[in-house]
Structure 1
Amino acid sequence: MPLTQPDLVTLRAGCKINLHLEITGVREDGYHELDTLFFPLPKPFDIITISKGAAGSGLLLDCPGLSIPPEKNIMYKCWEKYCAATDWKPDLEISVEKGIPDGAGLGGGSSDAAVMLNYLNKYCPKNALSPESLNALAATIGADVPFFLNNIPAHATGIGDRLKPSDVSLSGYFLVLICPDVSISTPWAFAAWDKAMLTDRMSDNKKEILTTTTSKDRKHSSRALWLFNSFEVVVYSAFPKLRAYKDKLMAFGAEGAVMSGSGSSIFALYREMEQAASAATALEADGVATYIHHL
């Protein structure tokens, strides 16, 4: 029995970090093969308000935090694809208050898309999609979208779309997430990585991107927690102040620190709240948006 669609609902779309992100190859179609570990965080978050629209109005989308036409928004794409898959075309008015910065590597757009798909599937009066079909549809919208549908830690391969739940635990850690006022384009980051590989700069700088405090056995296949990001060497070369922020996080006694996604956000793990609070205060003094999570 389908649920009755509410007149108005307000939802939160959280974010994600990548505990590790390794680019393992490039496919013939140009997409990059990844090995990454997604971990959800409740903040920063976007606030999505969805209400019933006037009959025949279609989707009216207001997202002042992004300077793109509504028809180019990933949520509009979700609505179009879901309508095509189920023959249900609800008239909706949606307002998005952005709290997740764009170009930060936190998956804000993908998170919004997953909230949209879950909403549509929850209230679809007939032909609602199975979890497998919804996941497949999500993968056609964005590589990170399937992860956000379930929003639990997951190991991802392929282009980030082949997911397996992970039992990774950060229990007891204090996580400091910083969001510098720098927007990094993911296509630019991949192109910069490709160029670095061609010029063989990556091998010369490998030691600069290893980010845990010990030097032994960093591979995630043999470590419960392995902090690494293939993008760091190229992003830090282009944005040296991001490397300086990471160094500052480490200086306050972090167990490790690493960039999320293609940047520009960086997170650090601390054993003690006092360390985390001191690091957050120092970064806030630099004008950097900062969030503390007790995991």
Structure 2
Amino acid sequence: MNCDTLSLLAPAKLNLFLHITGRRDDGYHELETLFTFLDYGDTLHFTLRDDAQITLAQMDGIAKEDNLIYRAAIKLKERYQELGLTTSGVNISIDKCLPMGGGVGGGSSDAATTLLALNTLWGQHLTADELAKLGVSLGADVPIFVHGHSALARGIGEQLTPVEVPECWYVVVHPQVHISTAKVFTHPELKRDSEKLPPKWQQAQHRNDCEPLVKKLYSEVEKTLQWLLKYAPSRMTGTGACCFAAFDNEQAAQDVLEKLPSKWQGFVAKSLNKSPTHTGLDLV
């Protein structure tokens, strides 16, 4: 690996289930959710500069200062400065393919990949736990991407227990609507009283507690779930809008994707217990 340049896949994630068990005084929700990664995502490119400037290729509709990639880079640079460490500048660009507001973690994955990549290029001075602590202020899902292993998450999503999830092939469909996570989590009709998982959580009944509300608010999501249900059990990931169904092999998944209505977008991907970001960095 060239010590001045690095390109990494920032993978999509799926919430295989998402239970909301309560709401905290600060407005955040207590969750129990199962994360796994996909071998599909955005690709980020990093090239060190001779000066201290951080540049990010423009993304349509997002100001640089609001972009989680840029914010992650600045946050890590500031942490290095607090430790008395100098950093070079960096040029960052992205090949974007994950939908915004799709529930597949695109922004969080991009932010985590930026933290991991720059920590590598700048000398690996922070541990994964330290990077995750920085990342949680950018988004509750950032730590799972930093740690890079399928996990059962509790709390607001930051309390992670690594697990092994059977790997399979997924058809993921985006019904071309953008869903605001804040709108879902502040809605008065959101279910917030699920019972906590038992010790043998694998045998419990699983669901996505956001799904009934999102289907009510966004009819295209309900239509997508119903369409997928013709081929396999379907579920929404995160707060949507992406929906998914699992298949035993790639060909079966591809056969379904080929039937996808043209008004929607979709892809086929294999689930992975280890994040391809970490595979790319050769991290354990």
Distance in 1, matches of 2:95 and 2:199, equals 36
Is the CA contact (8 Å cut-off) linking 1:260 and 1:266 kept in structure 2? yes
Matched, 1:164 2:158: no
Q: 1:291 to 1:225 in 2, by over 3 A?
A: farther
Q: 1:5 to 1:273 in 2, by over 3 A?
A: closer
Q: 1:222 to 1:162 in 2, by over 3 A?
A: closer
Distance in 2, matches of 1:95 and 1:73, equals 12
- 1:279 corresponds in structure 2 to 256
Q: CA deviation at 1:267?
A: 0.5
Matched, 1:93 2:88: no
Number of equivalences: 264
Spell out, residue by residue over 1:35-80, the C-alpha distance to the aligned partner (whole angstroms, 9 max, x if none): 100110021x112121123524x11111324x12101111222122
- 1:35 corresponds in structure 2 to 32
The one of 218, 231, 237 equivalent to 1:260 is: 237
CA-atom RMSD in angstroms: 2.5
Q: CA deviation at 1:257?
A: 1.3
Is the CA contact (8 Å cut-off) linking 1:168 and 1:225 kept in structure 2? no
Q: Which amino acid aligns with 1:42?
A: D
Matched, 1:55 2:34: no
Q: CA deviation at 1:102?
A: 0.1
The one of 146, 153, 158 equivalent to 2:143 is: 146
Is the CA contact (8 Å cut-off) linking 2:49 and 2:89 kept in structure 1? yes
Distance in 1, matches of 2:202 and 2:100, equals 31
- 2:275 corresponds in structure 1 to none
Q: 1:23 to 1:291 in 2, by over 3 A?
A: same
Spell out, residue by residue over 1:154-203, the C-alpha distance to the aligned partner (whole angstroms, 9 max, x if none): 11011111111012213xx43211122111010011122xx115xxxx59
Matched, 1:64 2:59: yes
Distance in 2, matches of 1:129 and 1:273, equals 38
Spell out, residue by residue over 1:250-289, the C-alpha distance to the aligned partner (whole angstroms, 9 max, x if none): 112x1x2110010000001234666534432222x33322
Q: Which amino acid aligns with 1:63?
A: Q
Matched, 1:228 2:207: yes
Distance in 2, matches of 1:275 and 1:82, equals 43
The one of 246, 249, 265 equivalent to 1:289 is: 265
- 1:196 corresponds in structure 2 to 189
Structure 1: state its 5+ residue gaps. 207-217
Q: 1:220 to 1:22 in 2, by over 3 A?
A: farther
Spell out, residue by residue over 1:229-254, the C-alpha distance to the aligned partner (whole angstroms, 9 max, x if none): 111111100112211211111112x1
Spell out, residue by residue over 1:110-139, the C-alpha distance to the aligned partner (whole angstroms, 9 max, x if none): 11111111112112247x112322222222
Q: CA deviation at 1:108?
A: 0.5
TM-score (norm 2): 0.84
- 1:211 corresponds in structure 2 to none
Q: Which amino acid aligns with 1:68?
A: I
1:70-109 paired onto structure 2 within 5 Å: 70-87=64-81, 88-109=86-107
Q: 1:263 to 1:91 in 2, by over 3 A?
A: same
Q: CA deviation at 1:151?
A: 2.3
Distance in 2, matches of 1:146 and 1:265, equals 21
